[in-house]
Amino acid sequence: MTPTTEFALIRRYFAALTPPLQPGEVGIGDDAALLTWPRAGTPQRERSSSAEKYPPMLAVTTDTLVAGRHFFPDVDAEALGWKALAVNLSDLAAMGATPEAFLLALTLPAANPTWLERFAAGLAACASRYGAALVGGDTTRGPLTVTITALGSVPRGEAIRRDTARVTDDLWVSGYPGRAALGLAVRRGELPATLPGAAEWIDALERPEPRVALGVALRGVASAMLDLSDGLTQDATHLVENRPELALLLHHAALPLSPLIAGGAPLEVAYRALLGGGDDYELLFTAPVAQRDAVAAAAAAAGIAVHRIGTVIPRPAEGQMLLIKETDGTIRPLSPQGWDPFRDGAPKEDRPWKAAR
Ligand code: ADP
Ligand code: MG
C-alpha cells in the first residue's frame, strides 16, 4: 500500500534506521534531533569536570527548498538565501537551541554570478544575525534546490520538546501567524499590493525571522514547543498527537486577528490565513498558568509579542485533538487545515500557498 501521509512514509521506510536513544535524546519526530555528543564516546561518569559531565546536547535539523514548489523560481536570490537558512534556524529555535553552524547543499541549473552573489549575501546576512557559521556542504548541477542542515546546542535537560504539554497549560503563539499566507496572496495577485499591510506580509513570507532569542528565553518556562511551518491548526495537532489524553482548545476571541485586519485583509481571509496558512515560522508553545509572568518576561527580553490563544484540555471522548471556543461561548471541533505533501486528496502541488504559479 502506498503511504498516504508524510509521517506514514517516514514511519514505514526510515523509522527503523533510528538507533536506540540514550536518556534525554530525541530522534525522528520533533523539530530537531537532540543527541548526546559524541554519541558513542567516553561514558559520562568517567569524565572529570562538571562541564564535561554534563556537556550541552547537539540539536540538528535539515530542510529542503525546491524551486517551483517552495518558492517562485524567479524569487529574489537574496531573499532565498535568507529564508533557506532562517527556516532551519527556526527548527533549532523550536527546541530552545542556540545556532552554531550549518552545511549548505546547493543544486544549481547554472553558475550565474549575479544570482550567486545575491544568494550568498542573503545567506550571510541571516548567518551573521543569528551567529551560525557555514562549515561545509555540497554543490552540484540540476534543478534549483537548496538544502541546509543546521547544528545547534542546548544545555542537557533544557531542550523543549513537542510532546511534553500538560493539562491546564496555556497555549501561546509568538507574533502574527497568517502574515506569510497573506504575503503570498499579494504575490499571486489575489490581494491588492496597495493594502496597508502588503509590504509587511511579503517581508514575513520572504524574510522570516527565526525566533531564536525567544526559544532560548523560554527554556525552563515553556512545557512544549514547535515552530509553525505548515499552518497553525495542522502544527498544533503535533503537540498532542502522541498524547492520547490531551487536546487543545483555541479561544477565538484571543486570536491575534486585528493587525491582519488593520493591514486590509478581509475578516474571513485573515481568519483562514491565521489558522491554516503556512510559512510563518512563529513559535507555538504551552506553559503552565503559573508561568504567565515568566512568558511575558521572556517575550519582552526577546522583543517579540506573544499571544495566549488557548488551553491544553483533556481529550474529549469523541477523540478530537483540536477544538475552538467561539466568541459566543460555544465549543466546536476544529479540523486541521494545512499541508501534507502525501495526504490523500492533497493537491499534487506542495504547500499550495507557496508554490509557483
Ligand atoms: P519540520 O516541519 O519541523 O521541519 P518535518 O515535518 O519536515 O519537520 O519532519 C517531521 C519529522 O520527521 C522530523 O523529526 C524530521 O526529522 C523527520 N523526517 C522527515 N523526513 C525524514 C526522512 N526522510 N527520514 C527520517 N526522518 C525524517
Ligand atoms: Mg519545525
Q: Ligand 2 centre from 174 Cα, in Å? A: 14
DSSP state of 161: -
pLDDT the model gives residue 67? 94
pTM: 0.90
Residue nearest to atom 8 of ligand 1 (CA): 31
pLDDT the model gives residue 352? 35
Decide whether any atom of ligand 1 lies within 6 Å of the 13 Cβ: no
Q: Ligand 1 centre from 206 Cα, in Å? A: 22
pLDDT the model gives residue 313? 98
pLDDT the model gives residue 42? 45
pLDDT the model gives residue 347? 43
100 within 8 A of 155, measured Cβ to Cβ: no
Decide whether any atom of ligand 1 lies within 6 Å of the 280 Cβ: no
Residue nearest to atom 12 of ligand 1 (CA): 29
Question: Residue 61 contacts by C-beta under 8 Å, 6 or more apart in sequence?
Answer: 31, 32, 33, 88, 91, 92, 149, 150
pLDDT the model gives residue 326? 93
Cα torsion for 192, 193, 198, 204, to the nearest 10°?
110
Q: Ligand 2 centre from 210 Cα, in Å? A: 11
Per-10-residue mean pLDDT for the chain, 357 residues long? 81 84 91 85 50 82 94 92 97 97 95 94 96 93 97 96 98 98 95 98 97 98 97 96 98 97 96 94 98 98 98 97 95 77 47 34
Closest ligand to Cα 11: 1
Q: Ligand 1 centre from 292 Cα, in Å? A: 31
Decide whether any atom of ligand 1 lies within 6 Å of the 28 Cβ: yes
Q: Ligand 2 centre from 118 Cα, in Å? A: 26
pLDDT the model gives residue 351? 41
pLDDT the model gives residue 342? 55
pLDDT the model gives residue 349? 41
